[in-house]
Structure 1
């Protein structure tokens, strides 16, 4: 019985190691799947934003509003400080 008792901890450790490795592999697989899904959704959102931007530009053209008056300023308000530049 002593030989059997000395084998049980080793077998138990091996079983636990295999279980943990399998669990980690499953988690890695799930995280990889989730990561790919998130990246795909971000790409889709980027495409939809591009399409929306194009639609807005098309509507502006139809209305006679040129792209020279963007709804989002191209330069931050902090930039026009050339008069205070010491150089």
Structure 2
């Protein structure tokens, strides 16, 4: 390999490494956002289930289901 080819290969490698690092950082950021939103959604679903159970108890539906 000539010196200019070696230099071009080195520059291309550096550009690719920087690009891959940039993509990795963006992917990690998006992944963290998704996990955070899923955790938040899980908490909201738990709260909703508790509220529905409380409403069913207040409406007396709890006793009807357990007696069946």
Which TM bucket (shorter chain)? Answer: 0.7 to 0.9
User: What are the within-5 Å matches in structure 2 for residues 34-73 of structure 1?
Assistant: 34-66=30-62, 69=65
Aligned twin of 1:3: none
TM score, norm. by length of structure 2: 0.85
Residues 60 and 66 of structure 1 are in contact (CA less than 8 Å); yes or no, is this contact kept in structure 2?
yes
Greater gyration radius: 1
For the pair 1:22 / 2:45, whether they are aligned, the reply is no
Q: Distance in 2 between matches of 1:65 and 1:30?
A: 49
RMSD over aligned Cα, in angstroms? 1.8
Gap regions ≥5 residues in structure 2: none
Moved over 6 A (4+): none
Gap regions ≥5 residues in structure 1: 1-5, 71-87
C-alpha displacement at 1:68, in angstroms?
A: 6.9
